[in-house]
Structure 1
Amino acid sequence: MKIAQKKKVKICFGSDLLGPLYGYQTQEFRIRGKVQSAQEVLLSATVTPAEMNGLGDKLGQIKPGFIADLLMMKSNPLDDITILDEPESNILFVMKEGRIY
């Protein structure tokens, strides 16, 4: 991670752990938080993947005309990125297509 960051490599947050490994998926926030700022980690899970998939003009940000799902958290992940490691304890709700779930 340190080498990639130093070389300005664009890194997207991973989401490919399935089955019994799925529980380890969110540990990436904590691991990356040791090298990157919370803002850089969040951008790698939102803006960077949208850009890398050619959808930077439609996804990845909360802006007029963009498609977005939102998470309402108990606290600010910019203050402590590890709150995203325990979504069941820290996510209050998810808003998808304007509806709260």
Structure 2
Amino acid sequence: SFVLDAGLSALETLQSAGVTMGYGSDLLGQMHGHQSEEFLLRGRVLKPRDVIRSATVDAARVLNMEGLIGTIAPGAHADLIAVYGNPLKDLAILPDPARLRKIIKGG
């Protein structure tokens, strides 16, 4: 679709320019369940490492919350997931409930 292609093109342009991009979506209601598919969409034009950083370290930077979120460190707020496999090699692991091993919320 035109909108998807334009969004992916914008991601490539921003990445090339060195812009810090936080991961997020505006999906609500029935569409909220598709939010994790954003990892796969971004993975079409970004490296898996960069997609994951956008949801962690870079999101914290964009929100001016470095050290509080987006990191695993003493005193930081942490929601973590453990998955079967390596999402740095295959982003499709992240939105797949069958690959989810453990959820740690507020750890």
Task: Give the TM-score range, shorter chain.
Answer: 0.7 to 0.9
Q: Distance in 2 between matches of 1:26 and 1:66?
A: 23
Q: Which runs of no fewer than 5 residues in structure 2 stay unpaired?
A: 1-10
TM-score, L = length of structure 1: 0.84
Query: Which residue in 2 is equivalent to 1:80?
Result: 90
RMSD of aligned alpha carbons = 1.5
Q: Which runs of no fewer than 5 residues in structure 1 stay unpaired?
A: none
Between Structure 1 and Structure 2, the one with more helix by share is 2
Query: Which residue in 1 is equivalent to 2:38?
Result: 28
**Code of the aligned partner of 1:97:** G
TM-score, L = length of structure 2: 0.80
Which runs of structure 2 are paired with 1:16-55 in the superposition (5 Å)?
A: 16-55=26-65
- Structure 2 residue matching 1:44: 3-state secondary structure: helix
Asked whether 1:95 is paired with 2:104, we answer: yes
List structure 1 runs of 4+ shifted beyond 6 angstroms: none
Deviation at 1:72, TM superposition (A): 0.8
Is the CA contact 2:60–2:70 (under 8 Å) kept in the aligned structure 1?
yes
Q: Distance in 2 between matches of 1:96 and 1:42?
A: 18
- Structure 2 residue matching 1:25: 3-state secondary structure: helix
Query: Which residue in 1 is equivalent to 2:19?
Result: 9
* CA displacement 1:61-87 (0-9 Å, x = unmatched): 11233221210101111111121122x
Aligned sequence identity (%): 37
